[in-house]
A and B are shown apart, each in its own frame.
Chain A
Amino acid sequence: MLRNDLSELQRLAGWIQGWSDASVVSSDVSFAVQLCLEEAVANVIMYGSPKGDPLEIAVEVERNDGALVALIEDNGRQFDPTKVPPPLPAASLDDAKIGDVGIHLMRSFANDMHYERRDGRNRLTLRFVESQAGASPAE
């Protein structure tokens, strides 16, 4: 299951990268979307297994009003990443914990993060504003 989902993520990342190559979105936005999706889906795979049913993860990305909006929906156990507190900076290498780095990265690279639980599914929405000044992808 893990392998299948991760290879799907590679395919999705390739598709998003394709947008960037075709100048539909900037490479920075493409990077941010790929990173957040990688973190969100990896979290679901590692922590989200539902009891009994196979884990289902659906990812949708659409363009909306000068922003890319990604929705990650899964049938795993309830998990709200927006409620996870930011990790405390480690004082030294020995103290370093890797635990919540993924969620922290999502918060930092997405402009907006929203969670809801609906019909037994987690729905995580991430918003990425495309840069206003300078490069216009439509050109």
Chain B
Amino acid sequence: MDIAVEEIAGGITKVGLSGRFDTTGAVVVELPFNKIVTEKHRILVDLSAVNFLASYGIRVLLVGAKIAKAKDGKLVILCPENNVAKVLKTAGTDSLIPIFQSEGAAAEALAAS
């Protein structure tokens, strides 16, 4: 699993994850991901290039959101309507972390925070 970071307009840090967000993948990105959410304020987690998501991956996202919140930051997820989105919905993650299907909507939500 890969992680790519990009600073975009509005003081937003876009974290692009790609590949399989399974237990192995989640363990690989966990530390760099936590580092980013500790340091940044407006975090857009882009899951568009993620083709699989398991509960350990959800754990990483939730921990990240908690860290961001503890530091008065905000984290949102960008994920198109697919099986990965279905996993997030089934796990109830969408009621804890805002999930958007377009980058524009995600960025707008962050800019408002």
Contacts and interface: CB of A to CB of B under 8 A. Distances in A.
A101 B66 contact: no
Interface stretch (B29-37, B39-47, B85-93, B103-111): B85-93
A42 B56 CA distance: 9
A94 interface: yes
The A contact surface, by secondary structure, is helix
Interface string A33-51: 0110011001000000000
A93 B96 contact: yes
Interface residues of A, number: 26
A120 to B, nearest CB: 26
Interface residues of B, number: 23
Contact of A102 (B24, B55, B97): B55
25 contacts: A6-B23, A6-B24, A7-B24, A10-B22, A13-B20, A34-B52, A35-B53, A35-B87, A38-B54, A39-B55, A42-B55, A42-B56, A89-B92, A89-B95, A90-B96, A92-B96, A93-B65, A93-B96, A96-B66, A98-B58, A102-B54, A104-B91, A105-B54, A105-B90, A109-B90
